[in-house]
Chains A and B, each alone.
Chain A
């Protein structure tokens, strides 16, 4: 099913939104990802990911107040929905389960 699959970048975006709590909007998400992953992220790429997540129902968004540094334009704040959280959990549990089954020997080199 197309809807539930969570791509790597999308997962990072979701987690970042959770990290940022109340202050998750375009610029902060972009900065946070860039700082943590040390790779440049364009606002356009971020937009695509956010749109996909929105389509899957993993996030919701709402306009906040306008500020002057944005030329009077409003920010759109993002929040992770319960569906989004459960899909993150699911992804994590799959990963944990796989990690637990990795023999210790594989890391001894």
Chain B
């Protein structure tokens, strides 16, 4: 049997024909085609007839049949545009509450958007001043060690630069830069502390750091030459024309100034106030074979300039060749080299040993994503409230349609309205942005160091485009809904319009807002807990009341003698660094008996250190005053990894470190040398006094400010040049986890914004709902319903939405926290129902208060007021 509904011309062809056929001819042509179709069907059968029909339709595609494109609408565009704007302002003025909610919500979120735009624009302008910026690439290393994740380093061996230059191709020029060139330069009475670089002679060819005096090609050629920056030249000599002059360096070295460069631009990831010649460094290390070794990959950076119009493949091939040859000589570990373009250095992926400015791409992305989320939330408000008010605009739409407005024109009109709102919001957003700016900068030390959020002219243009885009996005759905209304429905009486689309997009949008608000609140709670947890974590030693003072090149003993005169100082020790705050030092160590070698973290300490910092010795003693250099104290991990047995068994064993056999004289309990991102690894205390950089004072004082003053006076007596740098250990630890603190602050701020926006939206919806249902509510009240009944009636839907939202928000946030916030950390809080539920509960309470306030207002008025008009 043939399905009767299937008899007739092919549907799709029919629809297609209707779509393109000119209205004037459609009836005639369609009728003819259909008549012909039935004739053919009788004669040739259904299939053949259908195929003929389709063919006929295709042959209808000719100019005489196809709809004419109407052009007359272009004529009165300006007038219509004026009218749209006028109507938009009128409608904004008429619905003050809704307009205010929209403008305020959009303004707050757009301020966040403006922050993100400025932030991104500034980051993207980094390193663009180099003329050859697009051709400069940096060599980066990936170190593979057994049982460890591969380590990514911004550094490589100086050997790489040397071998590339001498033996390989694939680049135009290559420069090797040594990172740590720190010390004091003296000229007469003037001293400048140099934080500079040491580089080979190509430095000024590859990078665009113009020299004011001196020859860029020759400046870094010879040993003992130095290029100063304007600022450092002025500080040393009082003038900048100083080529050929001699300055004094530490240990009485005499260095010739061969050039004066402009100060490096702020937006450069490479910063310096002097550049020394690499040949000096080579000269100084001529008897040190490990300097030019493949394993010495911790301090040198290699940048290459590619030839014009060539890719990185040839250079990469050269690098692969080098690492293959050199890795063959390595035992236990290997190094691979890669290339990184100048534009992806800052912001870029997270690398160890960064040469200067660092900004993790992840941080940047998360800031942008968070801003987008907040923006979306505000757009939802606009969409929701506008769709809800469709009813009120319906008559206008009807009249416009009757007069002859086409759908596209109405769409345009309502989008213009949204854009006007968003431009208004932009105006306020700009002021909020100015308020937020210093707050944002103050949130994170890192951000403050590299970013000023100064506005460039182009940024204003971005702002404007941004507002247009937001208007478009926010206005799209409402315009669609409004322009879709059918004239016949509107003019028949508006009753059915709002209600019959049980509009679920609206519920969905509110649901998403709920979800986002909850997610933010939960995230903040979790991050705060984690932050507290980390700060209170038992590190395995006592950091309380310990004040760390940076030596800055001064003699340890002099300072110790001077400080120990103060009665408030109960104990003093010295060390090479401050553990547990991020910095880590490492050497290879070989266990002579076990014939095994390992990477060992280390710290040089004075004999008093262990006692001062409250480390627990499991066996043995601390260093002796005189024999420190030949002795080591190890931790339990090392014991385990070298399989030395019980702590006491290890005493007297020998481990070779830095080419020197050292006796184990003590074993300490494991403590956290790295941050809580790392698990505890094998570690040794060494005792070389030449390595000391810090002294640790145990302070017992009731008046810290006075004590600090006394300490500073002592410092100035000894060192008049460098400012006194002292910081309490606990504060230093807090600084080390500042990333957690700043993400907490950023999340907190965004949570606040997200909640305010979604509650504004909810308020709007509540006002709208009570307004439209006021008669129903009043009748219910007259018939005996009490306040609780009515509130639950109105909030029932919201509660359902809320439950759905928490079902999404809680697991998603839990996952996001694990994966993003604490993914690097090895020690994480236990997450329970309390942490997860509290966030959801807060949002629920605020939401109920919002809805309740409206309902209360509605039901407290005299029923007569609402019922007498009909």
A binding-site residues for B, Cβ under 8 Å: 25-27, 30, 42-45, 47-48, 51-52, 63, 67, 69-71, 73-76
Extra 18 A-B pairs, beta carbons < 8 Å, given A43-B36, A63-B28, A74-B28? A26-B29, A26-B31, A26-B35, A27-B36, A43-B29, A43-B33, A44-B62, A44-B65, A47-B62, A47-B64, A48-B62, A71-B30, A73-B27, A73-B28, A73-B31, A74-B27, A74-B31, A75-B31
In the bound complex, do residue B64 and residue A43 qualify as a contact, i.e. CB atoms below 8 Å apart? Answer: no
In the bound complex, do residue A44 and residue B61 qualify as a contact, i.e. CB atoms below 8 Å apart? Answer: yes
Among A45, A51, A67, A70, max chain B CB count under 10 A is at: A70
Pick the residue among B34, B59, B64, B65 that contacts A73 (CB under 8 A): B34
30 pairs, CB–CB < 8 Å, chain A vs chain B: A25-B32, A26-B28, A26-B31, A26-B32, A26-B35, A30-B32, A42-B55, A42-B59, A42-B60, A43-B29, A43-B33, A43-B56, A43-B59, A44-B60, A44-B61, A47-B29, A47-B60, A47-B64, A47-B65, A48-B64, A51-B64, A52-B64, A69-B35, A70-B32, A70-B34, A70-B35, A71-B8, A73-B28, A74-B31, A75-B31
Complex Cα distance, B28 from A27, in Å, reads 10
Complex Cα distance, B8 from A48, in Å, reads 26
Complex interface bits, B15-47 against A, C-beta within 8 A gives 1, otherwise 0:
000000000010111111111101100000000
Query: Whole-angstrom distance from the CB of A25 to the nearest CB of chain B?
Result: 7
Interface residues in B62-109 by Cβ distance below 8 A to A read 62, 64-65
Complex Cα distance, B61 from A76, in Å, reads 20
Taking CB atoms, residues of chain B closer than 8 Å to A71 are: 8, 30-31, 34
Taking CB atoms, residues of chain A closer than 8 Å to B36 are: 27, 30, 43
In the bound complex, do residue A73 and residue B30 qualify as a contact, i.e. CB atoms below 8 Å apart? Answer: yes
Pick the residue among A27, A48, A51, A52 that contacts B35 (CB under 8 A): A27
In the bound complex, do residue A75 and residue B28 qualify as a contact, i.e. CB atoms below 8 Å apart? Answer: yes
Complex interface bits, B757-780 against A, C-beta within 8 A gives 1, otherwise 0:
000000000000000000000000
Complex Cα distance, B36 from A104, in Å, reads 45
Taking CB atoms, residues of chain B closer than 8 Å to A26 are: 28-29, 31-32, 35
Taking CB atoms, residues of chain B closer than 8 Å to A44 are: 56, 59-62, 65
Complex Cα distance, B8 from A75, in Å, reads 18
Closest to B27 in A: A73
How many B residues touch A, CB cutoff 8 Å?
22
Taking CB atoms, residues of chain B closer than 8 Å to A51 are: 64
Closest to A26 in B: B32
Among A44, A51, A63, max chain B CB count under 10 A is at: A44
In the bound complex, do residue A43 and residue B60 qualify as a contact, i.e. CB atoms below 8 Å apart? Answer: yes
Pick the residue among B32, B55, B59 that contacts A27 (CB under 8 A): B32
Taking CB atoms, residues of chain A closer than 8 Å to B30 are: 71, 73
Query: Whole-angstrom distance from the CB of B91 to the nearest CB of chain A?
Result: 43
In the bound complex, do residue B59 and residue A45 qualify as a contact, i.e. CB atoms below 8 Å apart? Answer: yes
Closest to B57 in A: A44
Complex Cα distance, B61 from A67, in Å, reads 26
Complex Cα distance, B57 from A47, in Å, reads 12
Complex Cα distance, B31 from A42, in Å, reads 15
Closest to A29 in B: B32
Taking CB atoms, residues of chain A closer than 8 Å to B39 are: 27
Query: Whole-angstrom distance from the CB of B252 to the nearest CB of chain A?
Result: 100
In the bound complex, do residue A76 and residue B65 qualify as a contact, i.e. CB atoms below 8 Å apart? Answer: no
Complex interface bits, B94-134 against A, C-beta within 8 A gives 1, otherwise 0:
00000000000000000000000000000000000000000
Complex Cα distance, B407 from A99, in Å, reads 61
Complex Cα distance, B852 from A53, in Å, reads 74
Taking CB atoms, residues of chain B closer than 8 Å to A69 are: 34-35, 38
Taking CB atoms, residues of chain A closer than 8 Å to B34 are: 69-71, 73
Complex Cα distance, B29 from A10, in Å, reads 18
Query: Whole-angstrom distance from the CB of B680 to the nearest CB of chain A?
Result: 84
Taking CB atoms, residues of chain B closer than 8 Å to A27 are: 32, 35-36, 39
Closest to A45 in B: B59
Taking CB atoms, residues of chain B closer than 8 Å to A30 are: 32, 36
Complex Cα distance, B59 from A30, in Å, reads 14
Query: Whole-angstrom distance from the CB of A51 to the nearest CB of chain B?
Result: 5
Taking CB atoms, residues of chain A closer than 8 Å to B65 are: 44, 47-48
Complex Cα distance, B63 from A52, in Å, reads 12
Complex Cα distance, B816 from A57, in Å, reads 76
Interface residues in B440-499 by Cβ distance below 8 A to A read none
Closest to A49 in B: B64
Complex Cα distance, B29 from A45, in Å, reads 12
Query: Whole-angstrom distance from the CB of A69 to the nearest CB of chain B?
Result: 5
Taking CB atoms, residues of chain A closer than 8 Å to B38 are: 69
Query: Whole-angstrom distance from the CB of A26 to the nearest CB of chain B?
Result: 3
Closest to A76 in B: B28
Complex Cα distance, B29 from A11, in Å, reads 21
Query: Whole-angstrom distance from the CB of B764 to the nearest CB of chain A?
Result: 49
List 9 A-B pairs, minimum CB-CB distance, nearest first: A73-B31, A26-B32, A70-B31, A42-B59, A44-B59, A44-B60, A76-B28, A48-B64, A51-B64
Complex Cα distance, B65 from A13, in Å, reads 18
Taking CB atoms, residues of chain A closer than 8 Å to B55 are: 42
Complex Cα distance, B186 from A9, in Å, reads 104
Closest to A51 in B: B64
Query: Whole-angstrom distance from the CB of A76 to the nearest CB of chain B?
Result: 4
Complex Cα distance, B744 from A87, in Å, reads 90
Query: Whole-angstrom distance from the CB of A75 to the nearest CB of chain B?
Result: 6
Complex Cα distance, B32 from A67, in Å, reads 11
Among A27, A45, A48, A71, max chain B CB count under 10 A is at: A71
Taking CB atoms, residues of chain A closer than 8 Å to B8 are: 71
In the bound complex, do residue A43 and residue B62 qualify as a contact, i.e. CB atoms below 8 Å apart? Answer: no
Complex Cα distance, B28 from A70, in Å, reads 10
Closest to B30 in A: A73
Taking CB atoms, residues of chain B closer than 8 Å to A52 are: 64
Complex Cα distance, B582 from A29, in Å, reads 92
Taking CB atoms, residues of chain B closer than 8 Å to A48 are: 62, 64-65
Query: Whole-angstrom distance from the CB of B19 to the nearest CB of chain A?
Result: 15
Complex Cα distance, B64 from A95, in Å, reads 30
Interface residues in B650-690 by Cβ distance below 8 A to A read none
Query: Whole-angstrom distance from the CB of B657 to the nearest CB of chain A?
Result: 92
Taking CB atoms, residues of chain B closer than 8 Å to A76 are: 28
Among B27, B32, B39, max chain A CB count under 10 A is at: B32
Query: Whole-angstrom distance from the CB of B9 to the nearest CB of chain A?
Result: 9
Complex Cα distance, B27 from A97, in Å, reads 43
Query: Whole-angstrom distance from the CB of A47 to the nearest CB of chain B?
Result: 6
